[in-house]
């Protein structure tokens, strides 16, 4: 399909939102020598795949997840979001907000297959692709495979081809660094495009609430609020020394992003940092043997993922959420690597023993393995099980 035909497939609204900045973008990109970073974010990805594959769900409020009383929403369609339904919300709360909400179980194999199609489209333009999840990625198109000088044009082509080949929509953010590109991708959702030029960057950051910044989670945003830091302008007013004192190693990152500066490269070789699984139970757990029984299938799921990809880890983390939603974690790092599923069972069980006895019920358990590395044919050293 030609570039012209691809761009014609982009909806009129998206093209109108993009054309207002086209001249400025072209001048900026061709004259400053800045990097050209695109952040692609699929729109309500899991729910959109379900609506695409099941016509009966189209136009209706859909939640991907479990409808059971103690279930959790994994993703919500835009129709559901209008009622305030969002990911990570307890299913019972979601149903209360939207009585007509339709729950569908997740189909991760289907989502992974679509993600592979999307990444193949990315690869037509650049090898510098840094996946963040199945539904989003950074692309560095400064020096791209098709020699197209304007990042906006590339983003429009990618969005159009995704829509043509998958019948799904994507939003794109374009800027001169990763931080701003990710901020930009959320500005015109769904099915939109937004550009932050070098001249726009600092002022754009100053006006935004810090809770919208990638890398500033809810707990950090609350801490910043207690310190009187509500906006990008407030953050920029702080010294580097002050931010380091209050936020440790994250302080320099906050200092620079408040100025629209982010030198992090797009890493095509970005490795997965951890593999985990968790589950919320229909009834609370009070005894250790019941907890062990519920933990075992989670361990099997984590190990199967690692085994299929020939990766091993050194650190095991147990996550426990109680009935009152208090959450704790326990971790153990072993020497060498964990070489067998039963070793993972042993370490996880030892961590579970640290939690019991409990005075309140456990509603969720999770297990994660991190400090990952590729498995060698002859490991130098297996783990030392000193529990």
SS (H, E, C) 238-287: CCHHHHHHHHHHHHHHHHHHCCCCCCCCCCCCCCCCEEEEEEEEEEEECC
Note whether 117 and 166 are within 8 A (CB): yes
- Here the tokens at position 130 are 């840094």
Number of Cβ within 10 Å of residue 196's Cβ equals 24
Q: Where are the beta strands (DSSP E) in the chain?
A: 37-42, 62-65, 73-76, 102-104, 129-133, 136-140, 170-175, 193-195, 274-285, 311-312, 315-322, 327-333, 362-370, 373-374
Is 26 known to be catalytic?
no
* CA distance to 283, 345, 374, per residue, from 232 (Å): 44, 45, 40
Catalytic residue among 117, 136, 222, 374: 136
Distance between CA 288 and CA 266 in Å, rounded?
44
Element housing 17 (H / E):
helix 12-32
**DSSP bridge partners of 374:** 311
Q: What is the dihedral of CA 335, 336, 341, 343, to 10 degrees?
A: -30
Note whether 346 and 385 are within 8 A (CB): yes
User: Taking the CA of residue 102 as centre, how many other CA atoms within 13 Å lie in the half-sphere pointing to its CB?
Assistant: 15
Distance between CA 298 and CA 167 in Å, rounded?
34
Which residues are part of the catalytic machinery?
A: 136
């Amino acid at each position: 399909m030609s570039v012209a035909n691809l761009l014609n497939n982009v909806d009129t609204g998206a093209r109108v939102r993009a054309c207002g900045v086209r001249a400025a973008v072209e001048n900026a990109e061709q004259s400053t020598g800045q990097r050209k970073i695109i952040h692609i974010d699929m729109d309500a990805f899991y729910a959109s795949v379900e609506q695409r594959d099941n016509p009966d769900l189209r136009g209706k409020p859909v939640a991907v997840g479990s409808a059971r009383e103690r279930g959790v929403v994994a993703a919500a369609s835009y129709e559901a979001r209008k009622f305030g339904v969002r990911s990570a919300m307890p299913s019972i709360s979601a149903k209360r907000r939207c009585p007509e909400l339709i729950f569908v179980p997740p189909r991760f194999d289907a989502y992974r297959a679509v993600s592979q199609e999307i990444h193949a489209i990315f690869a037509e333009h650049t090898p510098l692709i840094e996946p963040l999840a199945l539904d989003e990625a950074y692309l560095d198109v400064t020096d791209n495979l098709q020699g197209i000088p304007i990042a906006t044009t590339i983003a429009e082509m990618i969005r159009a081809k995704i829509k043509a080949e998958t019948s799904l929509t994507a939003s794109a953010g374009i800027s001169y660094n990763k931080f701003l590109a990710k901020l930009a991708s959320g500005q015109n959702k769904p099915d939109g495009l937004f550009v932050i030029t070098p001249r726009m960057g600092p002022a754009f950051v100053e006006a935004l609430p810090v809770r919208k910044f990638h890398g500033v989670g809810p707990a950090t945003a609350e801490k910043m609020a207690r310190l009187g830091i509500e906006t990008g302008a407030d953050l920029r007013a702080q010294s580097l020394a002050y931010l380091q004192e209050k936020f440790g190693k994250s302080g320099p990152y906050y200092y620079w992003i408040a100025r629209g500066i982010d030198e992090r490269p797009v890493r095509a070789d970005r490795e997965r940092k951890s593999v985990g699984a968790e589950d919320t139970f229909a009834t609370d757990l009070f005894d250790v043997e019941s907890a062990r029984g519920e933990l075992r299938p989670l361990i099997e799921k984590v190990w199967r993922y690692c085994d299929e990809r020939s990766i091993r880890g050194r650190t095991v983390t147990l996550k426990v959420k109680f009935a009152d939603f208090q959450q704790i974690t326990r971790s153990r790092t072993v020497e060498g690597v964990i070489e067998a599923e039963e070793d993972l069972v042993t370490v996880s069980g030892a961590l579970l023993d640290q939690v019991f006895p409990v005075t309140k019920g456990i509603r969720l358990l999770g297990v994660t393995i991190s400090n990952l590395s590729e498995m060698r044919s002859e490991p130098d050293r297996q783990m030392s099980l000193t529990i």
